[in-house]
Structure 1
Amino acid sequence: MRVVIFGATGMLGHMLTRVLALDPRYEVFATVRGTLDDYPQLSGYHRHIIENVAVTDEARIGRLLEEIAPRVVVNAAAMRPSGLTPATTIDFVRVNALWPHQLANLAGPMGIRLCHISSDGVFSGQRGAYREDDRPDPEDVYGAAKLVGEPVGRHVVNLRTSIIGPELNAGAGLLSWFLRQDAAIKGYSQWLYSGLTTLELANIIRDDVLPNSDLQGIYHVAGAPISKFELLRLLSKYYEHDIPIEEDASVTRDRTLDATRFLNATGYKSPGWPDMISALRQLGNL
Protein backbone atom coordinates (compact mmCIF):
# COMPACT_ATOMS: atom_id res chain seq x y z
CA MET A 1 0.00 0.00 0.00
CA ARG A 2 1.36 3.40 -0.97
CA VAL A 3 1.22 5.99 1.81
CA VAL A 4 2.29 9.64 1.86
CA ILE A 5 3.14 11.24 5.21
CA PHE A 6 2.99 15.01 5.59
CA GLY A 7 4.93 16.40 8.53
CA ALA A 8 7.70 13.80 8.54
CA THR A 9 10.02 15.90 10.69
CA GLY A 10 7.56 16.24 13.56
CA MET A 11 7.30 14.17 16.72
CA LEU A 12 4.84 11.69 15.21
CA GLY A 13 5.81 12.07 11.56
CA HIS A 14 9.39 10.89 11.87
CA MET A 15 8.36 7.93 14.03
CA LEU A 16 5.62 6.94 11.58
CA THR A 17 8.08 7.19 8.68
CA ARG A 18 10.42 4.87 10.53
CA VAL A 19 7.72 2.34 11.43
CA LEU A 20 6.13 2.17 7.96
CA ALA A 21 9.46 2.11 6.12
CA LEU A 22 10.36 -1.11 7.97
CA ASP A 23 7.08 -2.83 7.06
CA PRO A 24 7.00 -4.60 3.66
CA ARG A 25 3.25 -4.02 3.41
CA TYR A 26 3.82 -0.32 2.83
CA GLU A 27 5.55 1.83 0.27
CA VAL A 28 6.00 5.07 2.16
CA PHE A 29 6.79 8.57 0.94
CA ALA A 30 7.43 11.29 3.53
CA THR A 31 7.69 15.02 2.94
CA VAL A 32 10.06 17.45 4.66
CA ARG A 33 10.11 21.24 4.46
CA GLY A 34 13.83 21.53 3.85
CA THR A 35 16.43 19.01 2.71
CA LEU A 36 17.94 15.92 4.29
CA ASP A 37 20.94 18.07 5.19
CA ASP A 38 18.61 19.81 7.65
CA TYR A 39 17.51 16.49 9.17
CA PRO A 40 20.52 14.13 9.19
CA GLN A 41 18.63 11.75 11.50
CA LEU A 42 16.44 10.85 8.52
CA SER A 43 19.36 10.05 6.21
CA GLY A 44 18.85 6.32 6.69
CA TYR A 45 15.39 6.70 5.15
CA HIS A 46 16.49 8.86 2.20
CA ARG A 47 14.73 6.60 -0.30
CA HIS A 48 11.42 7.53 1.29
CA ILE A 49 11.96 11.30 1.69
CA ILE A 50 10.63 14.02 -0.62
CA GLU A 51 12.49 17.26 0.06
CA ASN A 52 11.42 20.91 0.00
CA VAL A 53 7.67 20.41 0.36
CA ALA A 54 5.71 23.16 2.11
CA VAL A 55 2.18 22.23 3.11
CA THR A 56 1.11 25.72 2.04
CA ASP A 57 2.05 24.92 -1.58
CA GLU A 58 -1.27 23.41 -2.61
CA ALA A 59 -0.44 23.24 -6.32
CA ARG A 60 2.76 21.27 -5.78
CA ILE A 61 1.09 18.89 -3.36
CA GLY A 62 -1.69 18.26 -5.84
CA ARG A 63 0.89 17.31 -8.47
CA LEU A 64 2.71 15.15 -5.94
CA LEU A 65 -0.43 13.17 -5.15
CA GLU A 66 -1.17 12.67 -8.83
CA GLU A 67 2.36 11.37 -9.46
CA ILE A 68 2.56 9.03 -6.46
CA ALA A 69 -1.11 7.96 -6.44
CA PRO A 70 -1.12 6.80 -2.81
CA ARG A 71 -4.01 4.89 -1.31
CA VAL A 72 -3.76 6.89 1.93
CA VAL A 73 -2.22 10.18 3.05
CA VAL A 74 -1.45 10.83 6.71
CA ASN A 75 -1.43 14.43 7.88
CA ALA A 76 0.91 14.59 10.86
CA ALA A 77 1.83 18.22 10.19
CA ALA A 78 1.11 20.62 13.03
CA MET A 79 2.52 23.87 14.39
CA ARG A 80 2.69 24.71 18.08
CA PRO A 81 1.85 28.26 19.22
CA SER A 82 5.01 28.96 21.22
CA GLY A 83 6.72 32.20 20.25
CA LEU A 84 4.14 33.28 17.68
CA THR A 85 4.78 36.52 15.80
CA PRO A 86 2.43 38.31 13.38
CA ALA A 87 4.20 36.55 10.51
CA THR A 88 4.22 33.07 12.04
CA THR A 89 0.61 33.42 13.19
CA ILE A 90 -0.44 33.27 9.54
CA ASP A 91 1.48 30.01 9.09
CA PHE A 92 0.04 28.70 12.36
CA VAL A 93 -3.51 29.18 11.08
CA ARG A 94 -2.67 27.79 7.64
CA VAL A 95 -1.01 24.63 8.93
CA ASN A 96 -3.41 23.77 11.75
CA ALA A 97 -6.77 25.09 10.55
CA LEU A 98 -6.74 25.48 6.75
CA TRP A 99 -4.28 22.94 5.33
CA PRO A 100 -6.13 19.80 6.52
CA HIS A 101 -9.24 20.89 4.60
CA GLN A 102 -7.19 21.68 1.49
CA LEU A 103 -5.60 18.23 1.70
CA ALA A 104 -9.00 16.58 2.11
CA ASN A 105 -10.27 18.47 -0.94
CA LEU A 106 -7.27 17.33 -2.97
CA ALA A 107 -7.43 13.71 -1.82
CA GLY A 108 -11.15 13.07 -2.20
CA PRO A 109 -11.52 13.42 -5.98
CA MET A 110 -8.42 11.26 -6.46
CA GLY A 111 -9.91 8.42 -4.40
CA ILE A 112 -7.29 8.83 -1.67
CA ARG A 113 -8.12 8.29 2.00
CA LEU A 114 -6.96 10.88 4.53
CA CYS A 115 -5.90 10.07 8.08
CA HIS A 116 -5.69 13.36 9.97
CA ILE A 117 -4.11 13.66 13.42
CA SER A 118 -6.09 15.93 15.72
CA SER A 119 -5.67 16.63 19.43
CA ASP A 120 -7.19 16.18 22.86
CA GLY A 121 -6.68 19.94 23.08
CA VAL A 122 -10.08 20.45 21.46
CA PHE A 123 -11.38 19.91 25.02
CA SER A 124 -10.77 22.18 28.00
CA GLY A 125 -10.09 19.42 30.50
CA GLN A 126 -12.80 20.53 32.88
CA ARG A 127 -14.53 17.14 32.88
CA GLY A 128 -12.58 14.27 31.30
CA ALA A 129 -13.56 10.93 29.74
CA TYR A 130 -14.56 12.81 26.60
CA ARG A 131 -16.41 10.95 23.87
CA GLU A 132 -16.56 11.79 20.18
CA ASP A 133 -20.07 13.25 20.51
CA ASP A 134 -19.15 15.56 23.40
CA ARG A 135 -19.11 19.23 22.52
CA PRO A 136 -15.53 20.53 22.13
CA ASP A 137 -14.59 23.51 24.30
CA PRO A 138 -10.94 24.39 23.60
CA GLU A 139 -9.39 26.90 25.98
CA ASP A 140 -6.34 27.92 23.97
CA VAL A 141 -5.45 28.93 20.42
CA TYR A 142 -3.87 25.56 19.58
CA GLY A 143 -6.94 23.58 20.59
CA ALA A 144 -9.20 25.99 18.70
CA ALA A 145 -7.08 25.75 15.55
CA LYS A 146 -6.95 21.95 15.70
CA LEU A 147 -10.74 21.84 16.10
CA VAL A 148 -11.31 24.09 13.09
CA GLY A 149 -8.80 21.97 11.17
CA GLU A 150 -10.69 18.67 11.50
CA PRO A 151 -11.75 17.88 7.92
CA VAL A 152 -14.90 16.00 7.00
CA GLY A 153 -15.77 13.55 4.25
CA ARG A 154 -16.40 9.86 3.72
CA HIS A 155 -12.73 9.46 2.83
CA VAL A 156 -11.50 11.11 6.06
CA VAL A 157 -10.69 9.67 9.48
CA ASN A 158 -9.74 12.07 12.29
CA LEU A 159 -7.75 10.64 15.19
CA ARG A 160 -8.04 12.72 18.33
CA THR A 161 -5.16 11.84 20.61
CA SER A 162 -2.09 13.16 22.40
CA ILE A 163 1.47 11.92 22.16
CA ILE A 164 4.79 11.77 23.91
CA GLY A 165 8.05 10.82 22.23
CA PRO A 166 11.48 11.86 21.00
CA GLU A 167 11.96 14.76 18.60
CA LEU A 168 14.49 15.29 15.82
CA ASN A 169 15.63 18.59 17.27
CA ALA A 170 15.51 20.06 20.77
CA GLY A 171 11.75 20.39 21.01
CA ALA A 172 9.22 21.56 23.55
CA GLY A 173 7.54 18.18 24.03
CA LEU A 174 7.38 16.63 27.49
CA LEU A 175 10.06 13.99 26.91
CA SER A 176 12.57 16.40 25.35
CA TRP A 177 11.90 18.96 28.08
CA PHE A 178 12.28 16.38 30.85
CA LEU A 179 15.58 15.02 29.57
CA ARG A 180 17.02 18.56 29.49
CA GLN A 181 16.32 19.14 33.18
CA ASP A 182 19.14 18.72 35.69
CA ALA A 183 17.46 19.93 38.87
CA ALA A 184 14.25 19.26 40.78
CA ILE A 185 11.02 19.65 38.82
CA LYS A 186 7.31 19.58 39.66
CA GLY A 187 4.82 17.04 38.35
CA TYR A 188 1.09 17.73 38.35
CA SER A 189 -0.71 14.93 40.19
CA GLN A 190 -4.17 16.30 39.31
CA TRP A 191 -3.50 16.77 35.57
CA LEU A 192 -4.83 13.61 33.95
CA TYR A 193 -3.76 12.51 30.50
CA SER A 194 -4.62 9.53 28.29
CA GLY A 195 -2.22 9.88 25.39
CA LEU A 196 0.11 7.40 23.75
CA THR A 197 3.78 7.18 22.89
CA THR A 198 4.60 8.09 19.31
CA LEU A 199 5.77 4.52 18.74
CA GLU A 200 2.45 3.12 19.92
CA LEU A 201 0.41 5.54 17.80
CA ALA A 202 2.56 4.77 14.76
CA ASN A 203 1.89 1.06 15.32
CA ILE A 204 -1.85 1.76 15.61
CA ILE A 205 -1.87 3.67 12.34
CA ARG A 206 0.10 0.87 10.68
CA ASP A 207 -1.98 -2.03 11.98
CA ASP A 208 -5.46 -0.67 12.71
CA VAL A 209 -6.06 2.46 10.64
CA LEU A 210 -4.35 2.12 7.26
CA PRO A 211 -5.71 -1.39 6.51
CA ASN A 212 -9.24 -0.48 7.68
CA SER A 213 -10.99 1.44 4.90
CA ASP A 214 -14.27 1.37 6.84
CA LEU A 215 -13.00 3.88 9.39
CA GLN A 216 -14.39 7.37 8.81
CA GLY A 217 -15.24 10.34 10.98
CA ILE A 218 -13.78 11.09 14.40
CA TYR A 219 -12.19 8.52 16.70
CA HIS A 220 -10.62 9.02 20.10
CA VAL A 221 -7.41 6.97 20.33
CA ALA A 222 -6.10 6.81 23.87
CA GLY A 223 -4.11 4.99 26.49
CA ALA A 224 -4.96 4.45 30.13
CA PRO A 225 -5.42 7.65 32.18
CA ILE A 226 -2.27 8.73 34.02
CA SER A 227 -1.25 11.88 35.87
CA LYS A 228 1.60 14.03 34.59
CA PHE A 229 3.36 13.32 37.89
CA GLU A 230 3.22 9.54 37.43
CA LEU A 231 4.19 9.89 33.76
CA LEU A 232 7.31 11.85 34.70
CA ARG A 233 8.22 9.19 37.25
CA LEU A 234 8.01 6.52 34.54
CA LEU A 235 10.18 8.59 32.21
CA SER A 236 12.71 9.00 35.00
CA LYS A 237 12.80 5.24 35.57
CA TYR A 238 13.01 3.99 32.00
CA TYR A 239 15.25 6.75 30.66
CA GLU A 240 17.46 6.52 33.76
CA HIS A 241 17.23 10.26 34.29
CA ASP A 242 17.22 10.46 38.05
CA ILE A 243 16.21 13.94 39.16
CA PRO A 244 13.83 14.87 42.01
CA ILE A 245 10.18 15.11 40.94
CA GLU A 246 7.99 16.96 43.42
CA GLU A 247 4.27 16.22 43.45
CA ASP A 248 2.18 19.34 42.75
CA ALA A 249 -1.60 19.21 43.18
CA SER A 250 -2.20 22.89 42.43
CA VAL A 251 -3.30 22.46 38.79
CA THR A 252 -6.36 20.39 37.89
CA ARG A 253 -7.05 19.19 34.34
CA ASP A 254 -8.68 16.07 32.95
CA ARG A 255 -8.31 15.74 29.20
CA THR A 256 -8.72 11.98 29.19
CA LEU A 257 -10.48 10.54 26.16
CA ASP A 258 -12.98 7.69 26.02
CA ALA A 259 -11.71 5.39 23.24
CA THR A 260 -14.65 2.96 23.28
CA ARG A 261 -15.69 3.78 19.70
CA PHE A 262 -12.21 2.99 18.38
CA LEU A 263 -12.11 -0.20 20.45
CA ASN A 264 -15.42 -1.33 18.97
CA ALA A 265 -14.26 -0.54 15.43
CA THR A 266 -10.80 -2.11 15.62
CA GLY A 267 -10.50 -4.21 18.77
CA TYR A 268 -7.50 -2.14 19.84
CA LYS A 269 -6.61 -2.00 23.54
CA SER A 270 -3.58 0.00 24.60
CA PRO A 271 -0.72 -1.54 26.59
CA GLY A 272 0.01 -0.19 30.06
CA TRP A 273 2.17 2.90 30.38
CA PRO A 274 5.23 1.02 31.68
CA ASP A 275 5.16 -1.20 28.60
CA MET A 276 4.75 1.75 26.22
CA ILE A 277 7.57 3.78 27.78
CA SER A 278 9.84 0.74 27.96
CA ALA A 279 9.27 -0.06 24.26
CA LEU A 280 9.95 3.55 23.31
CA ARG A 281 13.19 3.59 25.28
CA GLN A 282 14.38 0.28 23.82
CA LEU A 283 13.78 1.56 20.30
CA GLY A 284 16.32 4.32 20.82
CA ASN A 285 16.81 7.35 18.62
CA LEU A 286 17.05 7.59 14.85
Structure 2
Amino acid sequence: MKKVIITGSNGLLGQTLVKLLAADKNNYTVYGFSRGENRCKENNFAYISVDLTNKHLLKKAVKQIQPDVIINTAAMTQVDVCEVEKDACYLTNVTLVKWLVDISEKNSCHLVHISTDFIFDGKKGNYKETDEPNPLSYYGFSKLKAEEIITNSSVHYTILRTILVYGLVDQMKRNNIVLWVREMLANNKEITIVNDQFRAPTYVEDLAMACKISMDKSAKGVFHISSSTLLSVYEIAQQIASVFNLDKNLIKPISSKTLNQRAIRPSKTGFDLSKTNTQLLFYPKSFKESLVAFKQKIS
Protein backbone atom coordinates (compact mmCIF):
# COMPACT_ATOMS: atom_id res chain seq x y z
CA MET A 1 0.00 0.00 0.00
CA LYS A 2 1.53 3.29 -1.13
CA LYS A 3 0.90 6.50 0.78
CA VAL A 4 0.64 9.30 -1.79
CA ILE A 5 0.49 13.05 -1.19
CA ILE A 6 -0.88 15.17 -4.03
CA THR A 7 0.00 18.85 -3.64
CA GLY A 8 -2.44 21.20 -5.34
CA SER A 9 -5.21 18.59 -5.03
CA ASN A 10 -7.95 21.17 -5.70
CA GLY A 11 -6.67 21.94 -9.21
CA LEU A 12 -7.53 20.30 -12.54
CA LEU A 13 -4.73 17.72 -12.46
CA GLY A 14 -4.90 17.38 -8.67
CA GLN A 15 -8.59 16.45 -8.65
CA THR A 16 -8.18 14.12 -11.63
CA LEU A 17 -5.33 12.32 -9.85
CA VAL A 18 -7.26 12.03 -6.59
CA LYS A 19 -10.16 10.40 -8.47
CA LEU A 20 -7.83 8.01 -10.31
CA LEU A 21 -5.80 6.88 -7.28
CA ALA A 22 -8.57 6.89 -4.66
CA ALA A 23 -10.52 4.43 -6.84
CA ASP A 24 -7.74 1.87 -6.25
CA LYS A 25 -8.02 1.55 -2.48
CA ASN A 26 -6.05 -1.71 -2.38
CA ASN A 27 -2.89 -0.02 -3.59
CA TYR A 28 -3.00 3.64 -2.52
CA THR A 29 -3.87 5.77 0.47
CA VAL A 30 -4.30 9.26 -0.94
CA TYR A 31 -3.76 12.61 0.81
CA GLY A 32 -4.53 15.95 -0.81
CA PHE A 33 -2.76 19.18 0.16
CA SER A 34 -4.34 22.41 -1.01
CA ARG A 35 -5.60 25.75 0.23
CA GLY A 36 -9.19 26.36 1.27
CA GLU A 37 -12.04 23.87 1.20
CA ASN A 38 -11.67 20.42 -0.29
CA ARG A 39 -13.16 20.13 -3.79
CA CYS A 40 -12.70 16.34 -4.12
CA LYS A 41 -15.65 14.20 -3.04
CA GLU A 42 -13.87 10.82 -3.14
CA ASN A 43 -13.78 8.05 -0.57
CA ASN A 44 -10.37 6.63 0.41
CA PHE A 45 -9.02 10.18 0.45
CA ALA A 46 -7.89 12.50 3.24
CA TYR A 47 -7.75 16.25 2.67
CA ILE A 48 -5.42 18.59 4.53
CA SER A 49 -5.89 22.33 4.06
CA VAL A 50 -2.36 23.72 4.11
CA ASP A 51 -0.62 26.83 2.81
CA LEU A 52 2.05 25.19 0.65
CA THR A 53 4.11 28.40 0.71
CA ASN A 54 4.57 28.06 4.47
CA LYS A 55 7.61 25.81 4.96
CA HIS A 56 6.89 24.99 8.61
CA LEU A 57 3.24 23.97 8.01
CA LEU A 58 4.18 21.96 4.92
CA LYS A 59 6.92 19.99 6.69
CA LYS A 60 4.69 19.34 9.69
CA ALA A 61 1.86 18.02 7.50
CA VAL A 62 4.19 15.72 5.52
CA LYS A 63 5.87 14.42 8.67
CA GLN A 64 2.54 13.21 10.05
CA ILE A 65 1.90 11.13 6.91
CA GLN A 66 5.38 9.75 6.07
CA PRO A 67 4.50 9.32 2.37
CA ASP A 68 6.06 6.96 -0.16
CA VAL A 69 5.33 9.36 -3.03
CA ILE A 70 4.71 13.10 -3.40
CA ILE A 71 3.11 14.23 -6.66
CA ASN A 72 3.56 17.98 -7.01
CA THR A 73 0.81 19.47 -9.18
CA ALA A 74 0.92 22.88 -7.42
CA ALA A 75 2.19 25.72 -9.61
CA MET A 76 1.58 29.29 -10.67
CA THR A 77 0.87 28.84 -14.38
CA GLN A 78 -0.65 32.13 -15.61
CA VAL A 79 2.25 33.11 -17.87
CA ASP A 80 1.56 36.85 -18.00
CA VAL A 81 0.86 37.08 -14.26
CA CYS A 82 4.20 35.35 -13.55
CA GLU A 83 5.94 38.02 -15.65
CA VAL A 84 4.59 40.72 -13.29
CA GLU A 85 4.39 38.92 -9.94
CA LYS A 86 7.86 37.39 -10.06
CA ASP A 87 8.25 36.90 -6.30
CA ALA A 88 4.97 35.00 -5.98
CA CYS A 89 5.88 32.93 -9.04
CA TYR A 90 9.32 32.08 -7.64
CA LEU A 91 7.88 31.13 -4.25
CA THR A 92 5.39 28.61 -5.68
CA ASN A 93 7.31 27.34 -8.69
CA VAL A 94 10.84 27.22 -7.26
CA THR A 95 11.04 27.63 -3.47
CA LEU A 96 8.19 25.18 -2.80
CA VAL A 97 9.92 22.64 -5.05
CA LYS A 98 13.17 23.10 -3.11
CA TRP A 99 11.28 22.33 0.13
CA LEU A 100 9.63 19.27 -1.44
CA VAL A 101 13.05 18.03 -2.58
CA ASP A 102 14.45 18.44 0.96
CA ILE A 103 11.43 16.66 2.43
CA SER A 104 11.64 13.84 -0.15
CA GLU A 105 15.36 13.34 0.53
CA LYS A 106 14.78 13.12 4.28
CA ASN A 107 11.82 10.73 3.88
CA SER A 108 13.36 8.72 0.99
CA CYS A 109 10.20 9.22 -1.04
CA HIS A 110 9.63 9.40 -4.78
CA LEU A 111 8.94 12.94 -6.06
CA VAL A 112 6.83 13.27 -9.22
CA HIS A 113 6.89 16.83 -10.54
CA ILE A 114 5.03 18.53 -13.41
CA SER A 115 6.97 20.80 -15.76
CA THR A 116 6.25 22.52 -19.07
CA ASP A 117 7.09 23.00 -22.74
CA PHE A 118 7.73 26.68 -21.88
CA ILE A 119 11.27 25.81 -20.77
CA PHE A 120 12.04 25.76 -24.54
CA ASP A 121 12.37 28.75 -26.88
CA GLY A 122 10.15 27.30 -29.62
CA LYS A 123 12.65 27.61 -32.46
CA LYS A 124 12.77 23.87 -33.10
CA GLY A 125 9.56 22.09 -32.05
CA ASN A 126 9.08 18.35 -31.49
CA TYR A 127 11.38 18.53 -28.47
CA LYS A 128 13.21 15.55 -26.99
CA GLU A 129 13.88 15.32 -23.23
CA THR A 130 17.57 15.94 -23.93
CA ASP A 131 17.10 19.15 -25.97
CA GLU A 132 18.67 22.32 -24.60
CA PRO A 133 16.21 24.49 -22.64
CA ASN A 134 16.07 28.23 -23.27
CA PRO A 135 12.99 29.79 -21.63
CA LEU A 136 11.61 33.06 -23.00
CA SER A 137 9.35 33.97 -20.06
CA TYR A 138 9.73 34.22 -16.29
CA TYR A 139 7.26 31.35 -15.96
CA GLY A 140 9.49 29.19 -18.18
CA PHE A 141 12.55 30.28 -16.22
CA SER A 142 10.90 29.35 -12.89
CA LYS A 143 9.92 25.89 -14.13
CA LEU A 144 13.41 25.24 -15.49
CA LYS A 145 14.96 26.37 -12.21
CA ALA A 146 12.73 23.87 -10.37
CA GLU A 147 13.84 21.10 -12.73
CA GLU A 148 17.49 21.92 -12.04
CA ILE A 149 16.95 21.79 -8.26
CA ILE A 150 15.36 18.34 -8.63
CA THR A 151 17.90 16.87 -11.06
CA ASN A 152 20.85 18.15 -9.00
CA SER A 153 19.51 16.51 -5.84
CA SER A 154 19.80 12.93 -4.59
CA VAL A 155 16.02 12.47 -4.61
CA HIS A 156 14.33 9.71 -6.64
CA TYR A 157 12.38 11.84 -9.11
CA THR A 158 10.17 11.80 -12.19
CA ILE A 159 9.70 15.07 -14.09
CA LEU A 160 6.76 15.07 -16.51
CA ARG A 161 6.81 17.98 -18.95
CA THR A 162 3.46 18.76 -20.49
CA ILE A 163 1.66 21.18 -22.83
CA LEU A 164 -1.65 23.10 -22.63
CA VAL A 165 -3.59 20.82 -20.27
CA TYR A 166 -7.36 20.66 -20.65
CA GLY A 167 -10.24 18.82 -18.96
CA LEU A 168 -13.05 19.38 -16.50
CA VAL A 169 -13.43 18.84 -12.73
CA ASP A 170 -15.71 20.17 -9.97
CA GLN A 171 -15.62 23.87 -9.00
CA MET A 172 -12.91 24.81 -11.48
CA LYS A 173 -11.26 28.14 -10.74
CA ARG A 174 -9.29 28.29 -14.01
CA ASN A 175 -10.46 27.96 -17.59
CA ASN A 176 -8.61 26.03 -20.31
CA ILE A 177 -8.55 26.31 -24.07
CA VAL A 178 -11.10 23.59 -24.81
CA LEU A 179 -13.70 24.86 -22.33
CA TRP A 180 -13.17 28.49 -23.36
CA VAL A 181 -13.50 27.86 -27.11
CA ARG A 182 -16.52 25.62 -26.58
CA GLU A 183 -18.25 28.17 -24.36
CA MET A 184 -17.60 31.13 -26.67
CA LEU A 185 -18.76 29.31 -29.81
CA ALA A 186 -21.78 27.81 -28.04
CA ASN A 187 -22.81 31.41 -27.24
CA ASN A 188 -22.25 32.44 -30.90
CA LYS A 189 -19.38 34.74 -29.97
CA GLU A 190 -16.62 35.45 -32.47
CA ILE A 191 -13.12 34.63 -31.22
CA THR A 192 -9.65 35.53 -32.51
CA ILE A 193 -7.01 32.81 -32.25
CA VAL A 194 -3.30 32.89 -33.11
CA ASN A 195 -2.29 30.88 -36.15
CA ASP A 196 1.49 31.16 -35.68
CA GLN A 197 1.94 29.33 -32.37
CA PHE A 198 2.03 25.54 -32.41
CA ARG A 199 1.16 23.22 -29.52
CA ALA A 200 0.19 19.60 -28.75
CA PRO A 201 -2.54 19.89 -26.07
CA THR A 202 -2.70 17.36 -23.25
CA TYR A 203 -5.86 15.71 -21.92
CA VAL A 204 -5.70 15.86 -18.11
CA GLU A 205 -6.73 12.17 -17.86
CA ASP A 206 -3.59 11.26 -19.85
CA LEU A 207 -1.36 13.38 -17.62
CA ALA A 208 -2.88 11.81 -14.48
CA MET A 209 -2.34 8.32 -15.91
CA ALA A 210 1.29 9.22 -16.72
CA CYS A 211 1.76 10.26 -13.05
CA LYS A 212 0.33 6.92 -11.92
CA ILE A 213 2.49 4.90 -14.33
CA SER A 214 5.61 6.85 -13.28
CA MET A 215 4.84 6.06 -9.66
CA ASP A 216 4.00 2.39 -10.27
CA LYS A 217 7.13 1.83 -12.36
CA SER A 218 9.24 3.94 -9.99
CA ALA A 219 10.46 5.63 -13.17
CA LYS A 220 13.41 7.98 -12.84
CA GLY A 221 14.16 10.90 -15.14
CA VAL A 222 12.41 13.37 -17.43
CA PHE A 223 9.51 12.36 -19.70
CA HIS A 224 7.36 14.26 -22.20
CA ILE A 225 3.57 13.94 -21.99
CA SER A 226 1.25 15.55 -24.56
CA SER A 227 -1.02 14.55 -27.41
CA SER A 228 0.75 13.09 -30.42
CA THR A 229 -0.19 15.89 -32.84
CA LEU A 230 1.35 19.33 -33.29
CA LEU A 231 -1.25 21.92 -34.34
CA SER A 232 -1.45 25.68 -34.58
CA VAL A 233 -3.62 27.15 -31.81
CA TYR A 234 -6.02 28.16 -34.62
CA GLU A 235 -6.21 24.52 -35.78
CA ILE A 236 -6.78 23.45 -32.16
CA ALA A 237 -9.80 25.77 -31.99
CA GLN A 238 -11.05 24.46 -35.36
CA GLN A 239 -10.88 20.86 -34.09
CA ILE A 240 -12.74 21.82 -30.89
CA ALA A 241 -15.50 23.38 -33.03
CA SER A 242 -15.63 20.29 -35.22
CA VAL A 243 -15.86 17.75 -32.36
CA PHE A 244 -18.50 19.77 -30.46
CA ASN A 245 -20.46 20.57 -33.65
CA LEU A 246 -20.03 24.33 -33.33
CA ASP A 247 -19.62 27.08 -35.94
CA LYS A 248 -16.01 27.21 -37.20
CA ASN A 249 -16.72 30.48 -39.02
CA LEU A 250 -16.75 32.28 -35.67
CA ILE A 251 -13.00 31.54 -35.30
CA LYS A 252 -10.80 34.24 -36.85
CA PRO A 253 -7.03 33.73 -37.25
CA ILE A 254 -4.60 36.42 -36.05
CA SER A 255 -0.85 36.78 -35.66
CA SER A 256 0.87 36.72 -32.25
CA LYS A 257 2.35 40.13 -33.06
CA THR A 258 -1.11 41.70 -32.74
CA LEU A 259 -1.47 40.45 -29.15
CA ASN A 260 -0.13 42.68 -26.44
CA GLN A 261 1.03 39.87 -24.14
CA ARG A 262 3.52 40.67 -21.40
CA ALA A 263 5.35 37.36 -21.63
CA ILE A 264 6.93 36.01 -24.80
CA ARG A 265 5.61 32.59 -25.81
CA PRO A 266 7.62 29.97 -27.71
CA SER A 267 6.30 29.84 -31.26
CA LYS A 268 6.51 26.07 -31.73
CA THR A 269 6.74 23.38 -29.08
CA GLY A 270 5.33 19.85 -29.27
CA PHE A 271 7.17 16.79 -27.98
CA ASP A 272 8.96 13.74 -29.24
CA LEU A 273 7.14 11.02 -27.27
CA SER A 274 9.43 8.08 -28.11
CA LYS A 275 11.02 7.88 -24.64
CA THR A 276 7.55 7.95 -23.05
CA ASN A 277 6.41 5.19 -25.44
CA THR A 278 9.40 2.91 -24.84
CA GLN A 279 10.12 3.44 -21.13
CA LEU A 280 6.70 4.20 -19.64
CA LEU A 281 4.90 2.07 -22.27
CA PHE A 282 2.46 4.96 -22.54
CA TYR A 283 1.08 6.05 -25.90
CA PRO A 284 -0.90 9.31 -25.84
CA LYS A 285 -3.47 9.68 -28.63
CA SER A 286 -3.96 12.47 -31.14
CA PHE A 287 -5.66 15.65 -29.92
CA LYS A 288 -8.81 14.81 -31.86
CA GLU A 289 -9.10 11.30 -30.38
CA SER A 290 -8.65 12.63 -26.83
CA LEU A 291 -11.12 15.43 -27.52
CA VAL A 292 -13.75 12.88 -28.59
CA ALA A 293 -13.12 10.93 -25.35
CA PHE A 294 -13.46 14.17 -23.36
CA LYS A 295 -16.73 15.02 -25.10
CA GLN A 296 -18.14 11.58 -24.27
CA LYS A 297 -17.05 11.95 -20.63
CA ILE A 298 -18.79 15.29 -20.09
CA SER A 299 -21.94 14.49 -22.07
Normalised to the residue count of structure 2, the TM-score between the two structures is 0.83
SS of the residue 2:51 aligns to: coil
Q: Aligned-pair distance for 1:173?
A: 2.4
Is residue 2:109 matched to residue 1:112?
Answer: yes
Aligned to 1:174: 177
1:1-286 alignment to 2 at 5 Å?
1-24=2-25, 25-36=27-38, 39=39, 42=40, 44-45=41-42, 48-79=45-76, 80-83=78-81, 89-150=86-147, 151-152=150-151, 153=153, 154-162=155-163, 163-166=165-168, 168-181=171-184, 182=187, 183-206=189-212, 208-213=213-218, 215-224=219-228, 225-242=230-247, 244-246=249-251, 248=253, 250-251=255-256, 253-284=267-298
SS of the residue 2:216 aligns to: coil
> What do the CA deviations read for 1:227-276 (whole angstroms, capped 9, x no partner)?
22232223224445546343526348211111222222122211222221
The CA distance in 2 between the partners of 1:180 and 1:234, in whole Å, is 14
8 Å CA contact retained: 2:192, 2:254: no
8 Å CA contact retained: 1:97, 1:145: yes
Runs (4+) of structure 1 exceeding 6 A deviation are none
8 Å CA contact retained: 1:191, 1:227: yes
> What do the CA deviations read for 1:119-150 (whole angstroms, capped 9, x no partner)?
00101212111112211111111111111111
- Gaps of at least 5 residues in structure 2 are 257-265
SS of the residue 1:45 aligns to: coil
The CA distance in 1 between the partners of 2:61 and 2:244, in whole Å, is 40
Distance 1:241-1:2 versus aligned 2 partners, 3 A rule: farther
Structure 1 window deviating more from structure 2 (95-104 vs 228-237): it is: 228-237
- Gaps of at least 5 residues in structure 1 are none
> What do the CA deviations read for 1:170-226 (whole angstroms, capped 9, x no partner)?
5242134324423122333442212311011112222x211011x222222232122
Q: Aligned-pair distance for 1:33?
A: 0.4
One-letter amino acid of the counterpart of residue 31, structure 1 = F
8 Å CA contact retained: 1:171, 1:177: no
Distance 1:108-1:191 versus aligned 2 partners, 3 A rule: same
SS of the residue 2:63 aligns to: helix
How many residues align structurally?
277
Distance 1:246-1:161 versus aligned 2 partners, 3 A rule: same
The CA distance in 1 between the partners of 2:46 and 2:288, in whole Å, is 32
8 Å CA contact retained: 1:4, 1:74: yes
The CA distance in 2 between the partners of 1:118 and 1:84, in whole Å, is 15
Distance 1:58-1:241 versus aligned 2 partners, 3 A rule: farther
8 Å CA contact retained: 1:189, 1:247: no
Q: Aligned-pair distance for 1:81?
A: 4.2
> What do the CA deviations read for 1:24-53 (whole angstroms, capped 9, x no partner)?
3322111120123xx4xx3x2276242321
One-letter amino acid of the counterpart of residue 178, structure 1 = V
The CA distance in 2 between the partners of 1:236 and 1:170, in whole Å, is 23
Q: Aligned-pair distance for 1:283?
A: 2.5
